Amino acid sequence: MEIKAVFFDIGNVLLRFSQRRILRKFAWAVGHHPIKVARHIWKGDIIDRVERGLMSGTDLHRIFIEDLGYSGSYPRFKKLWCEHFTLDRGSYAILKNLSTTMPTYLLSNTNALHIEYIRKTYSFPRLVRNSILSHELGLRKPQPEIYEAALKMSATKPHETIFIDDLEENCAGARRVGLRAIRYRGAADLKKRLGELGLTRL
């Protein structure tokens, strides 16, 4: 079956990051143990609200100040929140090559601060035709509606569309809508999997 569009996740596909290192960085900035920071940020609904666009960067900065004792300015907080990504050169090369012959897109759970930083720092957002971003739609993977929005954007049928993500739950959500989902396990494996689907010029 002919493939007519490919959607890439951003976090831990195109850009690598370590949640453990981020927590240590946040903990150092606020003077608390990483477990306390994790419990407050990841165990509550803060990330969900940020990634649905229900909480702004200034709201997040205020929470860090009021709940965690952060004392830095907003510009300093933006650096703390954003400067922890490393480009995955393997997946970037695949995206770059694909984008010359195939409609490519981004499909990511993200937030306004991160995407602003990513667009200023990396070139891959300029290689894709468009992006489906959770905070702009108020939807998060693996909700079926976000994949349906992706299909509407690409004007493709589910079986004609590939979605690449590092999390199995997000891949499973895409498969339930009918997309061909590939869990990212490194550039070599991705190149092989795409080749099996007929995309050989990578």
- CB contact at 8 A, 158 and 151: yes
CA nearest neighbour of 109 among 148, 140, 138: 140
Distance CA 196, CA 191 (A): 9
Task: Report the alpha-carbon angle 174-144-197, nearest 5.
Answer: 20
Average pLDDT on 186-190 reads 97
3-state secondary structure of 84: coil
pLDDT value for 43: 67
- CB contact at 8 A, 131 and 31: no
Q: Where are the beta strands (DSSP E) in the chain?
A: 5-8, 15-16, 86-87, 104-108, 130-133, 161-165, 180-183
Average pLDDT on 40-57 reads 89
Tokens representing 144 are: 């079926």
46 DSSP assignment: H
52-100 residue pLDDT tens? 999 999 999 999 999 999 999 999 999 999 999 999 999 999 999 999 9
Calculate what percentage of the chain has a pLDDT beyond 70.
Answer: 98
In one-letter notation, the amino acid at residue 58 is T
